[in-house]
Structure 1
Amino acid sequence: MSRTIKNVAIAGASGNVGARVLDALLELKFNVTVLSRSPKPFPAAARVQVVDYTSVESLSAAMAGQDAVIDTTFSPELDTPLRLIDAAAKAGVHRFITSDFGLDPEIPGVHDMPVFGRKKASYEAVKKQAADNRLTYTVVACGAFLDWGLSTGFVGLNFEEKTAFLFGDGNNVVPWTTLDDVGKATANVLLHPQETLNRPVYVHSVFMSQTQLFDAAKEILGNEGWTASYNDMEALLQKALADLKSGNITDSTFVVQIQYCLATKALAHPWARDDNSLVGLEEWNGKRVKELIQTIAQKAA
């Protein structure tokens, strides 16, 4: 059922992940169509197709002749990814890459988190289409975004204020992947359609604990002046779930759920199966991680 993939459509190409995937696809000389809600500037090598994301018919028409569709949209609602999957199957697309880009979807407890409801629905939908022989799929499991997490404070480190918000004891080792590496891995999946057929592909830039990232930051920025807190992630999770149920929803309602997963070895740990070599990624060393921290800290200063 495998075939050469040349024509690729991408949804969400202006986002953090999508922009990197688009660049990597163009570098590999795929024929790329950007599915856009409105006319926007994209690299000249990409064809832009304006579509109605609320219409399976509009999406399916835009996907005609495409060998693969990559979903990099990140809106919280469920309809968009499900509509994209339906449209791809209707258009006869061979390979669909879901907008998961996270932890191992094969671990039930991961997709049981409300924050991952969208990913769970997409995974179940694409597996059903594959079971019916309407398309094939790949999920890119990359853990947490390393550079984005350091830049936004999601990792728990604030370089300006020298504070560290540690998830539990901070010692759980998990996969971290930069956005550029995610883009490269996703594009390279399409060069290996048989090896990546109907399964998660497991990639990483580095396996590190939050404490190891904190130690690296102290080496770069100096040991003095840091304040660290060790947080009961179970208690924070239960509060987040209660807030979600009551409608008292903030950004932290969802962030805490992901941070809880990263603190919990059963939900987040180094991949048993590693696909870095298949999709052309090299594991980072500690020096490179410190250089990234230094670059991000300088920008934050």
Structure 2
Amino acid sequence: MPHTIKNVALAGASGNVGARVLTALLDLGFNVTVLTRTAKPFPTAARVEVVDFTSVESLSAALVGQDAVIDTTFSPEVETPLRLIDAAAEAGVYRFITSDFGLDPELPGIHDMPVFGRKKVSYEAVKKQAAQNRLTYTLVACGAFLDWSLSTGFMGLDFQGKKASIYGDGNNVVPWSTLEDVGTATANILLHPEETLNRPVYVHSVYMSQNQIFDATKAVLGSEGWEVKHNNMEPLLAQAMTDLKTGNISAATFEVQIQYCLATKALAHPWAKDDNPLLALQEWDLEKVKALIKSIAQKSN
């Protein structure tokens, strides 16, 4: 019997991904309950419920009557997603979407990276619950966040300073998705519960290499005056692993692991299976990418 999903609980709705997922869910007419630690304003169409994220009992009580739970929380600790998964199973929730939103979880080596440890634990937990017929699950593989990576410097492009930090040779073509596209795809999973049953879905806004994005940036901002640095990712990864072991941890410790993956074809490459058509996404053309770069560059001035 096909399942119809109408009532959706969303955790992490104030975050970068969660806010876009919330908008997309409301646009599609779902009944949304936002799970939050403290009372805060959300769109009036959403129901807001304050819960204790340290308590499976509190979470489970809040999830009674929900058809789906979407976890968009982001933090290093693993207890919150595990409690959400346990609570969803106890409450009889049909579909759980984990807070993955990254590279292909089926690729050997991805979830072995410490930065993806939380995602690995969540994936193993939902698979275990699904094997016991307590819930079903979906993961969203979207590559790296295109707009976020450009605006935060994670891409390695400094628009104001005209500096480019290239990871490896910069030629590895990988999936990039905007936060809005990720939100759209995630919400649309719930319109296709059978087609997305117990598997990762694979979406993207563009397939591009870092060099191709840099070329697009130069086309927008001018090709003169750029300072370019090429990074050998192997020693950078080794240093990040050492820093983890010694406790000398910074944001770069985790960023380098992701950047290493994006520079390595065995760990990041265009999807063999592409769910864009199923989940209502259209691939961007180069002009749209340039327009995004121009918009972000203007805001950084």
Q: Structure 1 stretches (4+) deviating beyond 6 angstroms?
A: none
In the alignment, residue 278 of structure 2 is paired with which amino acid? L
Matches within 5 A, 1:44-55: 44-55=44-55
In the alignment, residue 196 of structure 1 is paired with which amino acid? T
CA positional deviation for 1:138: 0.2
CA positional deviation for 1:108: 2.1
Q: Would you say 1:94 and 2:78 are equivalent positions?
A: no
- The Cα offsets for residues 137-196 of structure 1, whole Å up to 9 and x where unpaired, read as 000000000000000000110101011110100000000000000000000000000000
Q: Would you say 1:235 and 2:235 are equivalent positions?
A: yes
Partner of 2:33: 33
Task: Provide the C-alpha distance between the structure 1 equivalents of 2:228 and 2:59, rounded to a whole number of angstroms.
Answer: 48
Percent of matched pairs sharing the same residue: 76
Report the RMSD for the aligned CA atoms in angstroms. 0.5
TM-score by length of 2: 0.99
CA positional deviation for 1:201: 0.3
Task: Provide the C-alpha distance between the structure 2 equivalents of 1:86 and 1:154, rounded to a whole number of angstroms.
Answer: 34
Matches within 5 A, 1:196-235: 196-235=196-235
Partner of 2:164: 164
Q: Secondary structure at the match of 2:20?
A: helix
Q: Secondary structure at the match of 1:240?
A: helix
Q: Would you say 1:63 and 2:63 are equivalent positions?
A: yes
Task: Provide the C-alpha distance between the structure 2 equivalents of 1:82 and 1:181, rounded to a whole number of angstroms.
Answer: 26
Task: Provide the C-alpha distance between the structure 2 equivalents of 1:181 and 1:132, rounded to a whole number of angstroms.
Answer: 32
Partner of 2:106: 106
Q: Secondary structure at the match of 2:100?
A: coil
Q: Secondary structure at the match of 1:235?
A: helix
- The Cα offsets for residues 60-94 of structure 1, whole Å up to 9 and x where unpaired, read as 00000000000000011000000000000000000
Number of residues of Structure 1 aligned to a counterpart in Structure 2 = 301
Partner of 2:185: 185
Task: Provide the C-alpha distance between the structure 1 equivalents of 2:236 and 2:206, rounded to a whole number of angstroms.
Answer: 27
Q: List alignment gaps of at least 5 residues for structure 2.
A: none
Task: Provide the C-alpha distance between the structure 2 equivalents of 1:2 and 1:151, rounded to a whole number of angstroms.
Answer: 41
Task: Provide the C-alpha distance between the structure 2 equivalents of 1:183 and 1:258, rounded to a whole number of angstroms.
Answer: 21
Matches within 5 A, 1:217-296: 217-296=217-296
Task: Provide the C-alpha distance between the structure 2 equivalents of 1:170 and 1:125, rounded to a whole number of angstroms.
Answer: 35
Q: Secondary structure at the match of 1:22?
A: helix
Q: Secondary structure at the match of 2:99?
A: coil
Partner of 1:155: 155
Task: Provide the C-alpha distance between the structure 2 equivalents of 1:119 and 1:203, rounded to a whole number of angstroms.
Answer: 18
Partner of 2:14: 14
CA positional deviation for 1:2: 3.8
